[in-house]
């Protein structure tokens, strides 16, 4: 069974939510790694305190604790500001989620109203088509238009043959020097002036090349297409007159049945639906920006983290590490050497953890790109009107599976291609009307004319409507 537009739309939203969960999981892994890094840094700090106590026996533990106490308030204040920023962004995301839910419901309601108004228009179109087809005058005019169209088609075919015939034969006359000479002198007409020897020579030349017959043929080739065009133009004008009357009958009946009010309602509903779509798109864009901001705050290189590092570095810079290492080498005891080895081990573990986190951050970047690509895909889906209940998709379309397997934005783009290839519109009254006449009332006119003209002239009646549609702009109802 085919999938409907709302079903595929919901699958897209589910895929987007799944991608957002993957982003959250990756951020959680980084958060856990950051906590582990903090533990390692605390252990390294403790080792530094132990080493300072060993190397600096004149410094009391109270003095060391005082030094740590001085830096901790600064770092705690920076971390508090970062946590507050994260909380604010998450609150904004929660608020956007609520607004998004309301906007989705609004769009769903407008989509439903849009489908209903389209059904009303289709029903009205069917009524107009039926009543026009039953009107005797309309049937007579339709048959007249069909016969005129058939005659026009034959005349146009003949004109085409005449043009081709002239194109083939005229060059032979125009490239003949003798024929051109006599024609340019108006030989054989009242405008011909020469006398005496010149006239006798011209007569001899005319007889030699059969000029009189050639001139008649030449004049025929030159004048016939233009004469045919004039006749065809008159026939087209006559057909346009009939078509104008048919259109007037259609428009009068449409107004009588309330087509104008339906048209206004459809425009209003379409405007509201477009506004709801625009609201959703803006919410999606804001959500994506907040996600990027959260990703930036999860990065150990964010502004808050850099400020904390700067404060911590200031504390480290106040310690003469090289002097401590030199004194450690001068001592007989292995205690200080063991502390330094432990510090080196902690530094190595921190480095490995940073490398692992870097890989996770690359995953976040990829997940974020896919998340945003899915958001753009949803926007394109809505903008194309595919969320409508009248929109159908092949049951082979696997949006959730394809997006779950997406490794990059190209895979998401491929899903859009799958959606477009498998998309179609549900059957309606208007589906059987030719695509040439795209305006609903033009299509109604063509169907009614074809029905009224009868089987023998049905196709000509339809093509007469096509011709009118090509040469004159479409009018409302």
The per-residue pLDDT for range 375-404, each reduced to its tens digit, is 888 888 888 788 888 888 888 888 888 888
How many other C-beta atoms are found inside a 10 Å radius of the C-beta of residue 369? Answer: 14
The encoded tokens of residue 354 equal: 């940073």
pLDDT in tens, 334-376: 676 676 667 777 777 777 877 877 777 777 888 888 888 888 8
Q: What proportion of the chain, given as a percentage, has pLDDT over 90?
A: 13
**449, part of any domain:** no
Model pLDDT, residue 396: 86
Among 390, 407, 427, the domain boundary falls at: 427
258 and 352: one domain?
no
Model pLDDT, residue 311: 58
Instruction: Please say whether the beta carbons of 149 and 465 come within 8 A.
Output: no
Which has more confidence, 217 or 61?
217
**86, part of any domain:** no
266 and 129: one domain?
yes
**277, part of any domain:** no
246 and 128: one domain?
yes
137 and 261: one domain?
yes
231 and 158: one domain?
yes
Number of domains in the chain: 2
Distance CA 326, CA 336 (A): 11
**345, part of any domain:** yes
Closest to 459 measured CA to CA, from 441, 473, 446: 446
Model pLDDT, residue 62: 31
Question: DSSP label at 207?
Answer: H
136 and 264: one domain?
yes
Q: What's the whole-number mean pLDDT along residues 14-28?
A: 83
127 and 255: one domain?
yes
173 and 232: one domain?
yes
Q: What's the whole-number mean pLDDT along residues 222-227?
A: 84
**91, part of any domain:** no
Write out the residue range of the structural domain in which residue 191 sits.
123-270
Question: What does pTM read for this prediction?
Answer: 0.51
pLDDT at 264 over 90: yes
* DSSP H or E stretch at residue 258: none
pLDDT at 83 over 90: no
SS (H, E, C) 83-112: HHHHHHHHHHHHHHHHHHHHHHHHHHHHHH
Model pLDDT, residue 427: 61
266 and 324: one domain?
no
**406, part of any domain:** yes
Sequence-ordered list of residues with C-beta below 8 angstroms from that of 337, at least 6 positions apart, any chain: 328
**Strand pairing of 3-4 and 391-393?**
antiparallel
User: What are the two backbone dihedrals, phi and then psi, of residue 301, each rounded to the nearest 5 degrees?
Assistant: -95, 15
* pLDDT-derived band at 309, boundaries 50, 70, 90: low
**Any idea which of 179-188, 301-310, 417-426 has the lowest mean pLDDT?**
301-310
147 and 228: one domain?
yes
DSSP letter string over 154-186? HHHHHHHHHHHHHHHHHHHHHT-HHHHHHHHTT
Q: What's the whole-number mean pLDDT along residues 215-237?
A: 85
**Strand pairing of 423-425 and 391-393?**
antiparallel
**63, part of any domain:** no
Name the residue with tokens 């002036």.
193
Q: What's the whole-number mean pLDDT along residues 266-285?
A: 92
DSSP letter string over 346-406? HHHHHHHHHHHHHHHHHHHHHHHHHHHHHHHHHHHHHHTTTTSTTEEE-TT--HHHHHHT-
**360, part of any domain:** yes
Closest to 182 measured CA to CA, from 148, 142, 212, 221: 212
Closest to 370 measured CA to CA, from 417, 418, 412, 419: 412
Instruction: Please say whether the beta carbons of 462 and 449 come within 8 A.
Output: yes
252 and 356: one domain?
no
Among 237, 270, 303, the domain boundary falls at: 270
Among 427, 448, 463, the domain boundary falls at: 427
Q: Between the ranges 107-111, 198-202, 227-231, 327-331, where is the mean pLDDT highest? A: 107-111
Instruction: Please say whether the beta carbons of 107 and 276 come within 8 A.
Output: yes
Distance CA 304, CA 298 (A): 10
pLDDT in tens, 415-437: 888 888 888 887 654 443 344 44
327 and 411: one domain?
yes
């Amino acid at each position: 069974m085919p999938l409907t537009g709302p079903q595929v739309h919901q699958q897209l939203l589910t895929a987007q939510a799944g991608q957002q969960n993957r982003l959250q999981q990756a951020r959680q892994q980084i958060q856990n790694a950051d906590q582990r890094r903090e533990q390692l840094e605390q252990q390294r700090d403790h080792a530094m305190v132990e080493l300072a106590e060993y190397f600096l026996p004149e410094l009391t533990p109270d003095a060391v604790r005082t030094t740590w106490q001085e830096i901790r308030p600064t770092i705690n204040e920076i971390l508090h500001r970062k946590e507050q920023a994260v909380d604010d962004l998450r609150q904004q995301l929660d608020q956007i989620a609520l607004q998004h839910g309301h906007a989705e419901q609004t769009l769903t309601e407008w989509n439903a109203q849009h489908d209903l108004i389209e059904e009303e228009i289709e029903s009205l179109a069917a009524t107009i088509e039926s009543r026009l087809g039953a009107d005797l005058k309309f049937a007579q005019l339709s048959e007249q238009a069909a016969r005129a169209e058939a005659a026009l088609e034959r005349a146009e075919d003949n004109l085409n043959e005449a043009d081709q015939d002239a194109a083939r034969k005229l060059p032979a006359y125009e490239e003949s020097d003798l024929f051109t000479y006599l024609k340019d002198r108006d030989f054989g007409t009242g405008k011909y002036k020469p006398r005496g020897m010149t006239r006798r020579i011209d007569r001899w030349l005319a007889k030699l090349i059969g000029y009189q017959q050639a001139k008649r043929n030449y004049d025929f080739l030159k004048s016939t297409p233009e004469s045919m065009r004039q006749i065809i133009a008159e026939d087209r004008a006559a057909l346009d007159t009939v078509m104008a009357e048919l259109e007037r009958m259609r428009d009068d009946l449409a107004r009588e049945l309330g087509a104008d009010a339906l048209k206004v309602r459809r425009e209003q509903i379409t405007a509201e639906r477009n506004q709801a779509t625009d609201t959703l798109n803006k919410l999606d864009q804001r959500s994506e920006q907040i996600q990027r901001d959260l990703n930036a705050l999860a990065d150990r290189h964010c502004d808050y983290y850099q400020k904390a590092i700067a404060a911590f570095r200031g504390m480290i810079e106040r310690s003469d590490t090289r002097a401590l290492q030199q004194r450690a080498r001068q001592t007989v005891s292995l205690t200080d050497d063991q502390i330094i080895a432990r510090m080196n081990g902690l530094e190595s573990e921190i480095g490995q953890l940073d490398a692992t986190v870097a890989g996770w951050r690359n995953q976040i970047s990829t997940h974020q790109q896919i998340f945003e690509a899915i958001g753009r895909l949803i926007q394109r889906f809505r903008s194309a009107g595919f969320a409508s209940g009248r929109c159908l998709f092949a049951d082979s379309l696997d949006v959730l599976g394809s997006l779950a397997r997406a490794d990059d934005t190209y895979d998401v783009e491929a899903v859009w291609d799958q959606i477009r290839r498998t998309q179609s519109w549900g059957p309606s009254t208007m589906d059987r009307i030719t695509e040439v006449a795209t305006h609903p009332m033009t299509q109604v006119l063509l169907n009614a004319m074809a029905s009224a003209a009868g089987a023998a002239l049905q196709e000509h009646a339809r093509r007469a409507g096509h011709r009118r549609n090509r040469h004159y702009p479409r009018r409302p109802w």
